[in-house]
């Protein structure tokens, strides 16, 4: 299976993927601090974790990633996964890698796997519906920044 846990040596590639995703979505200004991100992912108190999708037949080449953290549902009384970012480089799409990343996440928890998606992303909506995922009716996400 071309999905693996990210390791410290992947930090540069992870930051590059995040920046590529931002550019794909129209944000050409995002430039991440590699050392800071490495600390958040691989330091003594990690805040998030990443699964890497590799190119089928070439496990040394990175095709995409899932950037995640744990959450907890008090009503379900179990941990789940917050998927902050899912991105497959355009040239590697339509090979089942996004599904493999999500299947790997699903296998890690008996709780919820949740994420946001930009409104109007019809391809994304179709992909997630095909997985059996559905939008959460009646909920609005809020964000409070410093």
In a domain, residue 145? The reply is: no
Q: How many domains does the chain have?
A: 1
* Per-residue confidence (pLDDT) for residue 56, from 0 to 100: 87
Decide if 138 is inside a domain. no
Residue 137 domain-assigned? Answer: no
12: left (phi over 0), alpha (psi -120 to 50) or beta: alpha
- Look up the CATH number of the domain holding residue 120: 3.40.630.30
142 is catalytic: no
- Rounded to whole angstroms, the Cα distance separating 88 from 20 reads 10
Tokens standing for residue 57: 């037949």
Q: Which of 24, 92, 128, 142 is catalytic?
A: 128
Asked if the structure places residue 140 within a domain, the reply is no
Indicate the length of the chain as a whole number: 146
Question: Taking CA 81 as the corner, what is the angle to CA 76 and CA 84, rounded to the nearest 5 degrees?
Answer: 135
User: Over the chain (146 residues), what is each successive 10-residue block's mean pLDDT?
Assistant: 92 97 94 96 97 93 97 95 96 94 95 90 89 88 85
Give the residue numbers spanning the domain of 107: 3-131
């Amino acid at each position: 299976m071309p999905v693996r846990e990210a390791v410290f040596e992947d930090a540069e590639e992870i930051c590059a993927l995040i920046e590529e995703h931002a550019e794909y979505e129209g944000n050409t200004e995002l430039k991440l601090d590699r050392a800071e991100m490495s600390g958040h992912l691989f330091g003594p108190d990690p805040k998030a974790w990443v699964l890497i999708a590799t190119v089928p037949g070439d496990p040394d080449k990175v095709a995409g990633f899932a950037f995640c953290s744990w959450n907890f549902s008090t009503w379900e009384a179990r941990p789940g996964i917050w998927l902050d970012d899912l991105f497959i480089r355009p040239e590697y799409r339509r090979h089942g890698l996004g599904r493999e990343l999500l299947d790997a996440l699903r296998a890690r928890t008996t709780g919820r796997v949740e994420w946001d998606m930009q409104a109007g992303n019809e391809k994304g909506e179709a992909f997630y519906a095909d997985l059996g995922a559905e939008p959460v009716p009646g909920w609005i996400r809020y964000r409070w920044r410093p």
